[in-house]
Chain A
Amino acid sequence: MAARTHRVLPGFGLALGYTLVYLSLLILLPLGGLILKASELGFAQIIDIALGERSLAAFRVTFGASFLAAAVNAFFGLIVAWILVRYPFPGKRFVDALVDLPFALPTAVAGITLATLYAGNGWLGRWIEPLGFKVAYTPLGIVVALTFITLPFVVRTLQPVIEDIETEVEEAAASLGASRWQTFARVIFPAIFPALLTGFALAFARAVGEYGSVIFIAGNLPLISEIVPLLIISKLEQYDVLGATALAVVMLALSFILLLAVNVLQWWTANRHKNDEPLEVAAAKASGGGE
């Protein structure tokens, strides 16, 4: 018999068993059922459904809008997280709590509110529509809704990471002669980039599956502003459960591939960084001005 390794913390077996059962019940079982149902259709049929003109357009809209929304949040979310961690200001706790609101609000409420706001006679719509920006009932409206829904993901993933970067590191870089841009690009950004990617991936994944808020602002015109979840609902309206699962499986596969790609990218950057050098060394290098 191989010697048992002793762990400091007890209950590993129990905890692992629990984890596996829990994950299987919550995730593997429903997804397995989905794939099993879809397998009643042949592979060729699934592809056929996914490659229909309407489905293709919907996939473009869903993934395109989700990507844009996640990208917008990656940029602005980073700024929000940075401000919230680094600067004291009155009402900071209140602003911090605001970030979570999109999580708490029922998505349909969010969608209806945004549609009312951006409609031609809404508070925002009446100012921006004359400028040529139609938001409500256009694909742009979808991006707006998804940006709102996914904001917390980027901010909340970045906050703890930014908190971990000590301000001394920046000071060290500065005192060694690094410009502000160099300090950001060479010292800070590499440290937060993996977390930024995680936030981006979470936001993206959430956006792809979003239905409740989008349908109220999208306009839902075929080939223009239909999202994939709407097509799935449309199939269910026809009692075409198989067609709906086919679309769902394709969506799942695409999301999985994209998330996997993000994970690989993240692993790659984190690893490169790990083997690279500690922050202090990076600070010193950055101040050296070039390689």
Chain B
Amino acid sequence: MNFLPRTIFAVLFGLLAGAARAEVTLLNTSYDVARDVYKDYNPMFQKYWKQKTGEAVEVKQSHGGSSKQVRAVADGLEADVVTMNQANDIEFLADKGLVARDWTKKFPNNASPYTSAMVFIVRKGNPKGIKDWGDLAAPGTQVILPHPKNTGNGRNTYLSAWAWALRQPGGNDAKAQEFLGKLLKNAPLFAAGGRDATTTFMQRRMGDVLVTFESEAEMIAKEFGKGEFEVVYPSLTMQTEFPVAIVDKVVDKKGTRKQAQAYLDYLWSQEGQENAAQNYLRPRDAELLKKYAQFFPPVKTFTVDEVFGGANKAFATHFKDGGTFDQIYVQK
């Protein structure tokens, strides 16, 4: 007969416990090497939000290969925001109806708070005299890059080389494909991922040139010492974007839209931009870009939208089964 009091007690207790945990939790699902960026960014945002609204926000991070992360979100991982390194990953979520169709318009700069560029890492003294993409296709040069079909890093390399070949005198798609064929012949292997390619080049001393993100060069300097290699900026390279988006379905369900919006907006704040710069990612803020000019020498870049008509189209043309990458290897 003491069922009723017990129930009331349980309900009250539950409410109390709920009130004690009233702080909001955001889940940021992110790509693999973003760890450092968001490890520093999250406490900054928490402090800012607490000061502004008095509300405590907990931010959880999930990291992994970006396509795997996006599939997890599509399969029900309750991420409030996604911060990725490829636009087509967020496009996939838009196709599934989890993210607004016009997500690139929801934030400034194509919804990408910072950028990077694809650069060459060569051995000290640049013994092979590598200056530009054309040198990567020269006979006897070994190029180290991650798998162009399976990794974002590899795809950026492939598209950068393609765009360069297009812009050469008399350049067209057929010539670009022929050029890529020569370049890929110089790859003794396709690394499993960006960091694997770095290890292969730096530690196992394979190859004459490694193609990777500008932001990785500083990581390599920290790990292997500055005197071990040189960074070469090609005449044209891809500006790689790191797009962010709110997962509408999740924030509407959890009631966290306000916080999620603020979390991503804050990436464009002075503090957010400075944090990116300190992690060797090019800030959008022109002043800061100047301030950190030693890390970010001027380089001529293109965006995927300009040359390839969008990330999805580039992916479909080049990396889907039967795309140009497959055509280079398989004649069928």
Contacts and interface: CB of A to CB of B under 8 A. Distances in A.
Interface of A: 52-54, 112, 115-116, 119-122, 136-137, 215-216, 218-223, 225, 230, 233-240, 243
Given A121-B205, A239-B92, 14 more contacts: A54-B330, A119-B206, A120-B204, A137-B188, A137-B206, A220-B147, A221-B189, A234-B150, A236-B68, A237-B149, A238-B315, A238-B319, A239-B71, A240-B320
Interface in B85-119: 92
B205 A120 contact: yes
Contacts of B200: 115, 119
B199 A112 contact: yes
B270 to A, nearest CB: 36
B15 to A, nearest CB: 37
B259 to A, nearest CB: 29
A270 to B, nearest CB: 42
A174 B188 CA distance: 56
Given A112-B199, A240-B321, A222 B329 contact: yes
B332 interface: yes
Chain B, interface residues (CB within 8 Å), range: 20 to 34
Contacts of A115: 200, 204
Interface of B, secondary structure class, is loop
B2 interface: no
Given A52-B332, A122-B204, A240-B321, A220 B189 contact: yes
Contacts of B192: 215-216, 220
A233 B150 contact: yes
Nearest to B320: A238
B326 interface: yes
Contact of A219 (B67, B68, B190): B190
A160 B44 CA distance: 60
Contacts of A54: 326, 329-330
Contact of B330 (A53, A215, A220, A234): A53
Interface in B185-221: 187-192, 196, 199-200, 203-206
A223 B330 contact: yes
B124 to A, nearest CB: 16
Nearest to A138: B189
